Amino acid sequence: MDYEKLMQPALEAAKKCLEEGVDVPIGCAIYRGEELLATTYNTRQAERQVIGHAEVKAITEACKIIGDWRLNECTLFVTLEPCAMCSGTIAESRIGTIVYGASRPDADVHTARCADILPKNVKIIPDICARESVELLQTFFAKRRSANN
Amino acid sequence: MDYEKLMQPALEAAKKCLEEGVDVPIGCAIYRGEELLATTYNTRQAERQVIGHAEVKAITEACKIIGDWRLNECTLFVTLEPCAMCSGTIAESRIGTIVYGASRPDADVHTARCADILPKNVKIIPDICARESVELLQTFFAKRRSANN
């Protein structure tokens, strides 16, 4: 699997999120094999909905497409390490592999890390397109800071 | 707070779930103070949707009603100890107190317990109407076993 290539739709989604300027720019893509099933980005703030994180939205959409709540054959790509809610949702969906970009700087401090929540048989591939993923986050927070000054 | 009394809508929802006979009977209720905001039950199997657990549905509904993804003033009642996905969603929603009935027998084995995922400042009240909650689960699994024989 060419992880960098397959991360591109998630990065594109995060860029669209950044353009909208409301939510922390995080994008996600789910594949069945190498078939792209769903591409989503974070809309928690825009929709005032806690389950608006990119991963939960992509998993919800993939369940609808596949017609099952079990996504054993799927791989999830996300630009930032999943939070506890998204890690738990990945665990419940039985996704076999997750690939992420940047690591969460607040993990360990506030909540459990994804590796502590996911079952041991889930394969975790970190640091794929991490630099691009972090740059989107930094751009968002820099804009927010300058807007607040 | 009269925990037993406030657990009743969650138990009623779990009973309705048992009557439908498709999903593991688990019910949930969310209150703002003592005002009932949402009552839900598990529909994962019926809807073929991984986020069909009672707690995620109740939190989603409460966000819509309140118009915010932060549910700081809310208390969540659920008949069974939340799984990792639901615990993560509770953590993200900033719910301050959770009250549950039965403990999950599979916790510790398959996934993290809710107390390991929820931040330390979330109050956890276990064993409220635990006997009634367990009886609903036992009835469901007994029916399923006899249907498979």
Which residues of B are catalytically annotated? Answer: 55
Higher pLDDT, A119 or A110: A119
Q: Which two tokens stand for residue B84?
A: 């990792």
- From A50, A53, A31, A49, select the one nearest A40 (Cα to Cα): A53
CA-to-CA dists, residue A96 to A14, A119, A123, B105, angstroms: 23, 10, 6, 24
Separation between Cα atoms, residue B46 and residue A140, nearest integer Å:
40
Question: Average of pLDDT values for A66-88?
Answer: 97
CB contact under 8 A, B89 and A87: no
Q: Is A55 a catalytic residue?
A: yes
Angle at alpha carbon of residue B142, lines to B141 and B144, rounded to 5°: 60
Helix (H, G, I), strand (E, B) or coil at B56: helix
pLDDT of residue B51: 98
Residue of chain A whose Cα is closest to the Cα of B49: A69
CB contact under 8 A, A86 and B88: yes
* Annotated catalytic residue, options A4, A55, A61, A73: A55
CA dihedral (A33, B43, A119, B113) in degrees, to 10, reads: 160
CA-to-CA dists, residue B122 to A37, B118, B135, angstroms: 36, 6, 28
A133 close to A14: Cβ distance less than 8 angstroms: yes
Task: Give the containing element (helix H, strand E) for B6.
Answer: helix B3-20
Ranges of H-type helices in chain A: 3-20, 44-47, 54-66, 84-93, 114-117, 130-148
**What are the two backbone dihedrals, phi and then psi, of residue B36, each rounded to the nearest 5 degrees?**
-75, 120
CB contact under 8 A, A119 and B112: no
Q: Which two tokens stand for residue A126?
A: 């970190």
What end-to-end distance do the CA atoms of chain A give, in Å?
45
Of A52, A71, A88, the CB nearest to B69: A52
Of B52, B63, B89, the CB nearest to A69: B52
Of B45, B69, B91, the CB nearest to A49: B69
pLDDT of residue B105: 72
pLDDT at A97 over 90: yes
Q: Which residue has the tokens 């615990």?
A: B87
- Checking DSSP bridges between strand B35-41 and strand B27-32, what pairing results, if any? antiparallel
Mean pLDDT of chain A: 94
User: What distance in Å separates residue A106's CA from the closest CA in chain B?
Assistant: 13
Q: What are the pLDDT digits (tens) for A3-38?
A: 999 999 999 999 999 999 999 999 999 999 999 999
Q: How many CA atoms lie within 13 A of A91 on its CB side?
A: 24
Q: Which stretches of chain B drop beneath a pLDDT of 70?
A: 106-111
CA-to-CA dists, residue B14 to A28, A48, A63, B74, B98, angstroms: 34, 28, 24, 20, 17
Q: For chain A, positions 25-54, list CB contacts with chain B under 8 A.
A: 44-45, 48-53
